[in-house]
């Protein structure tokens, strides 16, 4: 039985071209080697498993190769390349800074730097997880890193660039590695599966790539685990079951139910999801991601952001046609609200169910606004709800017998069936008389007109009781008492600094000392207005403010002003303050 080698090691790239998803960095390094413009020290930063250490080893191998190819790759045939491939190279030194982070470890490395290489042109020092070095170790390394011998090259690798001191960063040529794209990981996994003789569905590989979060090493480890589990038959359903991932089908079904406001199906689907062992928080976040992908699929310019397999992408495109932006954006907002509130909610299941019902009502409410379901008509001096379907029936019954008829349209209300009276109905409204038949078309045309009339303010109902300035001043004192009772003492003091003046058209002008008082007054203006209008029975009252230039109020506001005011009445307070060591500002 041969020893098993994990895919992350077995398929570790040995050339620049084999590195997945970092083409910009590998091309830059190849050009630097080709033009002989290599820096003395490099810093490779980025997330885990994206190829930092692999690129460092490939760079170390290539710059010592005796026969570099035209494509700027190592030949793998010279003495230096063979010794490197057999892990027997004396030119490449690797140091794990996580376990060798002391000053003594760095001093040993610095002592080795002085010796020239036995084979090849350079001694290369690869320091992994360099951010783990202590502050003293960094300082001991600074001088060597700034002025190393010509035969020495340093390649530092880290996942946490922000932990490295600026003096080290300024001495290195920095390369930022990015997360590997889902399609790149999926294609590489397909290559590995083919090499290992494993049958794998493209959707399954795509799902593994998504689960790895841009880390190639993680995706290969996951691939090995799933290959063992499925006996070399990787299927989409098998990956879902083994990784306990919520199937996309659920999200498509939930979205379809949301669009038609099918509350029963939504609750049953969510219950099924919970029964399968999934968390409500996981579900609502997945739904938000699903709605986001639908939003992305609605436009060709953003379609590239939809990193899905071809079959799944077609389903997103199809569902995006049924989802309007006016539904998707509020739905995403509600999912976000549920996500924020989930951890603090006492009834988490109810929170998710309410969120689903609120989302489903978005499109339903919009449909109700566009197409009214019912009207209100007056039949024999009695108002009744008439559904749209019932209006033609009533019109037919009353067409021959009614001389003065008219249909009245009001606000859209819930649909209710009515029973037409046996006696001859008399349908009328507003005292107007029209033709002896009911005009259904006119009834529909009047909907918007009536809704607009409902929104207009009836000025005839506004109060306009006249009052003298003395009554206003008396009520003003009551206002001051009222706002202080509301806990707004500063506002009460502000209102009492200067007496207000009654102007034309019931405008009350309030003199103030500064802009801060004006701002305070404007914040609470409507509370004061409401009190005045109710007390004086006049809805036309308005308040304006004006700043009195060059005049300062003698009313104390700050603690210091209040203490100075008290000092005028009792000078001994200053002696007491000094003995107690008090600060009048506080």
Asked if 418 contacts 396 with a C-beta cutoff of 8 angstroms, the reply is no
Q: 158-203: per-residue pLDDT in tens? A: 999 898 888 888 888 999 999 888 888 988 999 998 888 888 888 8
Q: Which two tokens stand for residue 462?
A: 């506004």
Residue 457's CB: how many other CB atoms inside 10 A? 7
Q: Which two tokens stand for residue 485?
A: 């009772």
Give the predicted TM-score (pTM) of the model. 0.55
DSSP states of 18-33: G-SS-HHHHHHHHHHH
Asked if 79 contacts 66 with a C-beta cutoff of 8 angstroms, the reply is yes
Least confident of 16-20, 141-145, 216-220, 245-249: 245-249
Going through 497-581 in order, the beta strands assigned E by DSSP cover 501-502, 507-512, 542-547
Q: 230-272: per-residue pLDDT in tens? A: 777 888 888 887 877 788 888 999 999 998 888 999 999 999 8
Q: 408-467: per-residue pLDDT in tens? A: 433 343 443 434 444 444 433 333 444 444 444 444 455 445 444 444 555 667 888 888
**Reduced DSSP (H G I as helix, E B as strand, rest coil) percent helix, strand, coil of the chain, to 5:** 55, 10, 35
Residue 94's CB: how many other CB atoms inside 10 A? 16
Q: 68-108: per-residue pLDDT in tens? A: 888 888 888 888 888 888 888 888 888 888 888 888 888 88
d(CA 38, CA 148): 13
Predicted pLDDT at 441: 45
Contacts of 169 (CB under 8 A, 6+ apart): 43, 161
Higher pLDDT, 561 or 246: 246
Asked if 41 contacts 154 with a C-beta cutoff of 8 angstroms, the reply is yes
Question: What is the rounded (10 degree) CA torsion for 427, 433, 439, 441?
Answer: -120
Longest dimension (CA), the chain: 116
CATH 2.60.40.2480 describes domain 248-369: no
Q: Which CATH number describes the domain made up of 469-547?
A: 3.30.300.180
Asked if 78 contacts 120 with a C-beta cutoff of 8 angstroms, the reply is no
Predicted pLDDT at 364: 63
Q: 292-340: per-residue pLDDT in tens? A: 999 988 887 887 777 777 777 888 888 888 888 889 999 999 999 999 9
CATH architecture of 182-243: Orthogonal Bundle (1.10)
Q: Between helices 52-63 and 23-34, what is the axis angle to 10°? A: 20
Asked if 98 contacts 129 with a C-beta cutoff of 8 angstroms, the reply is yes
The neighbouring-strand residues paired with 502 are 508
Higher pLDDT, 555 or 172: 172
Question: What is the rounded (10 degree) CA torsion for 46, 48, 51, 53?
Answer: 90
SS3 276: coil
d(CA 46, CA 123): 25
Rg over alpha carbons for the chain, rounded to the nearest Å, is 40
SS3 354: helix
Which uninterrupted H or E stretch holds 154? Answer: strand 152-158
| DSSP conformation class of 297 | H
The ranges assigned to domains in the chain are 7-176, 182-243, 248-369, 374-456, 469-547
Which uninterrupted H or E stretch holds 44? Answer: strand 41-45
Token pair 């083994």: residue: 242
d(CA 89, CA 66): 14
Which uninterrupted H or E stretch holds 482? Answer: helix 469-485
Closest CA to 219 of 242, 194, 248, 188: 188
**Which CATH superfamily hosts domain 7-176?**
P-loop containing nucleotide triphosphate hydrolases (3.40.50.300)
Residue 138 above 80 pLDDT? yes
- Chain CA centroid to CA 71, Å: 44
Asked if 312 contacts 206 with a C-beta cutoff of 8 angstroms, the reply is yes
d(CA 322, CA 294): 10
Predicted pLDDT at 433: 40
Predicted pLDDT at 420: 41
Residue 409's CB: how many other CB atoms inside 10 A? 21
Are 7-176 and 469-547 equal in CATH topology? no
Q: Between helices 310-320 and 248-259, what is the axis angle to 10°? A: 10
Q: How far are the Cα atoms of 6, 10, 196 from residue 3, in angstroms, in the given order?
A: 10, 12, 15
For residue 3, count CB atoms less than 10 angstroms from its CB and return exposed for 0-12, middle for 13-18, buried for 19 or more.
exposed
Which uninterrupted H or E stretch holds 42? Answer: strand 41-45
d(CA 123, CA 154): 9
d(CA 119, CA 66): 10
């Amino acid at each position: 039985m041969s020893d098993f080698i994990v895919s992350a090691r077995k398929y570790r790239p040995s050339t620049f071209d084999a590195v997945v998803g970092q083409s910009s960095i590998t091309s830059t390094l190849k050009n630097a080697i080709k033009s002989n413009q290599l820096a003395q020290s490099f810093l490779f930063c980025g997330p885990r498993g994206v190829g930092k250490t692999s690129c460092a080893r490939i760079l170390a191998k290539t710059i010592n190769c005796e026969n570099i190819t035209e494509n700027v790759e190592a030949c793998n045939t010279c003495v230096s390349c063979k010794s490197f491939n057999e892990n027997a190279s004396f030119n490449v030194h690797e140091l794990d800074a996580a376990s060798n982070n002391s000053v003594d470890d760095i001093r040993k490395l610095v002592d080795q730097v002085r010796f020239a290489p036995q084979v090849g042109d350079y001694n290369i020092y690869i320091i992994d997880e360099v951010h783990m070095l202590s502050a003293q170790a960094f300082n001991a390394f600074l001088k060597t890193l700034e002025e190393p011998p010509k035969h020495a090259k340093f390649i530092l690798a880290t996942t946490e660039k922000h932990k490295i001191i600026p003096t080290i960063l300024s001495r290195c040529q920095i390369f930022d590695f990015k997360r590997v794209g889902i399609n790149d990981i999926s294609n590489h996994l397909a290559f590995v599966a083919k090499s290992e003789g494993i049958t794998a569905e493209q959707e399954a590989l795509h799902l593994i790539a998504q689960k790895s979060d841009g880390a190639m090493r993680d995706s290969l480890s996951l691939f090995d685990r799933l290959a063992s589990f499925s006996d070399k038959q990787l299927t989409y359903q098998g990956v879902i079951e083994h990784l306990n991932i919520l199937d996309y089908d659920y999200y498509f079904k939930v979205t379809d139910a949301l669009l038609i406001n099918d509350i029963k199906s939504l609750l049953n689907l969510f219950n099924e999801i919970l029964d399968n062992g999934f968390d409500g928080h996981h579900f609502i976040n997945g739904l938000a991601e699903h709605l986001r992908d639908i939003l992305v699929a609605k436009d060709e310019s953003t379609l590239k952001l939809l990193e899905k397999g071809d079959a799944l992408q077609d389903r997103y495109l199809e569902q995006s046609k049924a989802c309007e932006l006016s539904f998707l954006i509020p739905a995403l907002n509600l999912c976000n609200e549920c996500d924020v509130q989930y951890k603090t909610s006492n009834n988490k299941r109810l929170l998710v169910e309410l969120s689903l019902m609120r989302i489903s009502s978005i499109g339903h409410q919009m449909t109700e606004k566009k197409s009214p379901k019912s009207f209100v008509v007056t039949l024999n001096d009695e108002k009744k709800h008439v559904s749209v379907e019932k209006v033609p029936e009533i019109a037919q019954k009353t067409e021959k017998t009614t001389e003065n008829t008219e249909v009245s349209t009001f606000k859209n209300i819930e649909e209710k069936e009515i029973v037409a009276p046996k006696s001859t109905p008399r349908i009328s409204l507003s005292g107007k008389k029209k033709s002896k038949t009911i005009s259904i078309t006119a009834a529909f045309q009047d909907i918007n007109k009536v809704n607009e009339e409902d929104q207009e303010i009836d000025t005839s109902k506004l109060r306009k009781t006249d009052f003298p300035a003395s009554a206003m001043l008396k009520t003003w004192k009551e206002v001051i008492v009222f706002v202080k009772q509301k806990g707004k003492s500063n506002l009460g003091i502000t209102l009492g600094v200067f007496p207000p003046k009654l102007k034309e058209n019931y405008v009350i002008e309030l003199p103030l000392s500064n802009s801060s008082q004006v701002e305070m007054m404007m914040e609470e203006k409507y509370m004061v207005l409401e009190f005045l209008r109710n007390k004086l029975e006049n809805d036309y009252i308005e308040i304006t403010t004006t700043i009195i230039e060059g005049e300062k109020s003698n009313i104390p506001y700050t603690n210091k002003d209040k203490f100075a005011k008290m000092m005028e009445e009792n000078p001994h307070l200053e002696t007491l303050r000094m003995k107690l060591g008090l600060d009048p500002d506080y």
